[in-house]
Amino acid sequence: MSQTDMLPAGAKQPSALTSLSAEALYDKCNALARNLWWSWQPEVINLFRDLDPIRWRQLDHNPIALLSEFTAERLEMRASELVLFSRINHAFRRLKEYLAETATWGRTHAGVLGSKPVAYFSLEFGVHESVPVYSGGLGVLSGDHIKSASGLGVPLVAVGLFYDQGYFKQQLDVDGYQREEYLDTKVENLPMEPARGADGKPLTIRIETRNGPLLAKVWLMHVGRVNLYLLDCDVKENRPEDRELTSRLYGGDNRTRVRQELVAGVGGIRALHAMGITPGVYHLNEGHSAFATLEAVRQRMIDSGMSFDESLRLVARHTAFTTHTPVPAGHDRFDGGLIEEHLGPLRDGLGISFEQLMGLGRVEPQNEHEPFCMTVLGLKLSRRANAVSSLHGHVSRRMWAHLWPWRVEEEIPIGHITNGVHVQSWLAYQMEQLYDRHFSVGWEKRMGEPEVWQGIHQVDPGELWETHNTLKNLLLAFVRRRVSRQCRRRGESDESVEAARNMLDPNILTIGFARRFATYKRADLILRDMDRLAAMVTDPERPLQIIFAGKSHPADEPGKQLIKRIANLRRDSRFAGRIAFVEDYDINVCRHLIQGVDVWLNTPRRPLEASGTSGQKAVLNGALNLSILDGWWAEAYDGSNGFAIGRGMQNVDVAKTDARDAEHLYRNLEEQVIPLYYDRDVDGLPLQWIKRMMNSISSLAWRFSADRMVADYVRTAYLPAAGGLSCDMDIH
């Protein structure tokens, strides 16, 4: 059912704005809530919030859950109290127009994909905090990718898994130690419907293994113009343990993992086939879904009677593969037993031996000791591979050079397309309004163009500063509310709760640091010299405050210890309550942070940050990046659009690297960041700082937008792959 069909048949179009019947009004709100398009429309978000601001917050900004608490009559009463009719009508009309629009960038530039769309595979999708099927950066990137594909009108369908418990919710106990909580998501509150097969019936796919069948049902979620299909093993024909296979993201052992990847890859291709969707391009976002290629090979063999080798070559020409992992240990690897158990029946269909199959996942096909690596499969079964930043491209070419031993490193066929972020999702409403006032008309449709963003230099510095400070105040209120509530939950004293309610000061330079607490990200780099840090934080003239957030993988004990250490700094008298830790980092917490901080800090151990995207989100809202020259920042920093820690050097000695990087970080804060921030003119404006904010926005916002990223994928990967053009990659 298309979104425009959601008005009940025969419902009269109201003639006057105020005469909308209660049911029609309810249906329109429901239609808006059931396409995640709303999640990047401030106008629609504000509409839902206005219906009941408190419940909106309590319900994780989930409009379906919110509407379920209203009857049509109560909704109508509320709408008439608040005079919402014309806003609802307007939003609904805009959604319909958006879905019907044909004059898109994609129509002009990616028309050939029209009947054979890109099939984009990813094991997580972070579209909005109310749809918890993501854990972090990879998922948010996938979400941003499909939102931009929708906006540009690139024909694309997305495939992933539905996790009914998602990733865990993080709570810290009284000692500051991370506790993980898995909550069942209420399916009826999600914007999903059963996907239907060609016969019109809800679709279930089946995969044979050596150890019995695995079944999955398929959900359909509308993300603007993109259909997102999520496979879910919670079907009654499955064995009880298999019904939980897709309950949790990154929740299980290697066997769970291979089974999840089987469902996403092989199951995903089967689902598309059953719905009559014939992809012209397979895009594997990370190696997790690379089994998809094997099923695609099998289907082509059946459909056109090709041999295995012919079919494999053909599928590879239509496949693009993106790698995200710069450390060898980070790639999924499975032993031969797990592979045979799960891919055995598919292997029979392909007519190949166990050794041949294993060879597809090995660097040295004959090496019996080598496990099956999903990244190797992805590289071998695609003719286009890319890393996610320029530096990561170098690292990936070096890391996989042994797959092409006859080539020199520069000729290893792994390119790069640097990640970007979906601007409308991360840009604060107040900033968007400022851009609306000063940028050329229609700028929001041309966000990938550099000229558009030059408009920021015409903005009055005072106006930009004021907007930024409005957002900063909203962030500080958010942090106080969250932290004080968290203190109360832990049973801390009234005094402690009260202190949290008053912590942080809008006049103080505010640094944000939020990301997964993986060791290489070095959340503790800034804590290496506590006295030096305390001196900065409590400087009477030019103080500093820091807001931290982030989850640690449930099995990562060092990560949890680090969180504990940071969380307890709030009560450490040396820091005067100026260091806060906000629990349960997710899209919502991230959005608040990157919209309100002065400085976004990133201190990975180079070159382990493949790209990073949170700093790109910060750029859009005027925050300045202070970062190691790693990932995207290594190609983004130009000397005047933020701050660099160090000069991009690497050392094999980790201890030396960390000591040197910490010294550079402190020196940069003391000599550049702090002086620049507190250097005020007679009106209290930090003019040089504001100039840097403008440089950051004008030089980076367009380059690191997901619109630019998706356009790059279209030009350099999707179009050649759709044409089946072979580039010169051959590893067979």
Ligand X SMILES: *Cc1c(COP(=O)(O)O)cnc(C)c1O
Positions touching ligand X (CB under 6 A) are 136-137, 140, 515, 585-587, 590, 612-615, 617
Which letter does DSSP use for residue 505 in this model?
A: -
The CB-of-136 to ligand X minimum distance in angstroms stands at: 4
Token readout for 180 is: 């993980």
What is the crossing angle of helices 461-489 and 687-700, to 10°?
Answer: 90
Which letter does DSSP use for residue 224 in this model?
A: T
Of 383 and 617, the one with the shorter C-beta distance to ligand X is 617
Of 44 and 618, the one with the shorter C-beta distance to ligand X is 618
The CB-of-515 to ligand X minimum distance in angstroms stands at: 4
Alpha carbon 235 to chain centroid distance?
28
The CB-of-330 to ligand X minimum distance in angstroms stands at: 14
As a whole number of angstroms, the distance between CA 385 and CA 397 comes to 10
Which letter does DSSP use for residue 458 in this model?
A: G
Residue for token pair 């904010």: 693
Of 319 and 425, the one with the shorter C-beta distance to ligand X is 425
Of 164 and 586, the one with the shorter C-beta distance to ligand X is 586
Q: What does each C-alpha distance from 154 to 15, 157, 327, 669, 730 come to in angstroms? A: 36, 10, 32, 43, 28
Q: What does each C-alpha distance from 474 to 250, 344, 591, 594, 726 come to in angstroms? A: 33, 55, 11, 12, 52
The CB-of-133 to ligand X minimum distance in angstroms stands at: 13
Of 394 and 617, the one with the shorter C-beta distance to ligand X is 617
As a whole number of angstroms, the distance between CA 166 and CA 180 comes to 12
Nearest to 632 by CA among 642, 445, 283: 642
The CB-of-601 to ligand X minimum distance in angstroms stands at: 11
Say if residues 293 and 284 touch (Cβ distance below 8 Å).
yes
The CB-of-422 to ligand X minimum distance in angstroms stands at: 10
Of 147 and 300, the one with the shorter C-beta distance to ligand X is 147
The CB-of-107 to ligand X minimum distance in angstroms stands at: 30
> For the sheet containing 544-549, what is the strand order?
579-582, 544-549, 509-514, 599-602, 624-628, 643-645
The CB-of-59 to ligand X minimum distance in angstroms stands at: 19
Of 124 and 598, the one with the shorter C-beta distance to ligand X is 124
- Asked if omega into 686 is within 30° of 0 (cis), the reply is no
Of 136 and 280, the one with the shorter C-beta distance to ligand X is 136
Nearest to 643 by CA among 611, 605, 602: 602
HEC assignment per residue over 122-166 = CCCCCCCCCCCCCCCHHHHHHHHHHHHHHHHCCCEEEEEECCCCE
The CB-of-612 to ligand X minimum distance in angstroms stands at: 4
Of 268 and 622, the one with the shorter C-beta distance to ligand X is 622
The CB-of-235 to ligand X minimum distance in angstroms stands at: 30
As a whole number of angstroms, the distance between CA 411 and CA 727 comes to 12
Q: What does each C-alpha distance from 115 to 87, 156, 279, 403, 599 come to in angstroms? A: 35, 10, 8, 35, 45
The CB-of-141 to ligand X minimum distance in angstroms stands at: 7
The CB-of-654 to ligand X minimum distance in angstroms stands at: 20
Q: What does each C-alpha distance from 288 to 138, 158, 260, 278, 388 come to in angstroms? A: 11, 14, 9, 21, 16
Of 388 and 434, the one with the shorter C-beta distance to ligand X is 388
Q: How many other C-beta atoms lie within 10 A of the C-beta of residue 564?
A: 17
Of 233 and 644, the one with the shorter C-beta distance to ligand X is 644
Of 204 and 641, the one with the shorter C-beta distance to ligand X is 641
Of 467 and 614, the one with the shorter C-beta distance to ligand X is 614
Q: Identify the three-state secondary structure at position 544.
A: strand
Nearest to 37 by CA among 104, 113, 94, 101: 94
The CB-of-618 to ligand X minimum distance in angstroms stands at: 9
Q: What does each C-alpha distance from 343 to 352, 416, 618, 692 come to in angstroms? A: 11, 31, 43, 54
The helix (run of H) or strand (run of E) holding residue 230 is strand 226-232
Say if residues 265 and 289 touch (Cβ distance below 8 Å).
yes
Of 136 and 176, the one with the shorter C-beta distance to ligand X is 136
- Alpha-helix runs per DSSP H in 205-278: 240-243, 254-262, 268-274
Of 291 and 585, the one with the shorter C-beta distance to ligand X is 585
The CB-of-549 to ligand X minimum distance in angstroms stands at: 9
The burial of 649, by beta-carbon neighbours within 10 Å (0-12 exposed, 13-18 middle, 19 or more buried), is given as exposed
Of 227 and 602, the one with the shorter C-beta distance to ligand X is 602
Q: What does each C-alpha distance from 280 to 275, 523, 722, 725 come to in angstroms? A: 15, 43, 5, 12
The CB-of-32 to ligand X minimum distance in angstroms stands at: 23
The CB-of-627 to ligand X minimum distance in angstroms stands at: 10
As a whole number of angstroms, the distance between CA 419 and CA 433 comes to 26
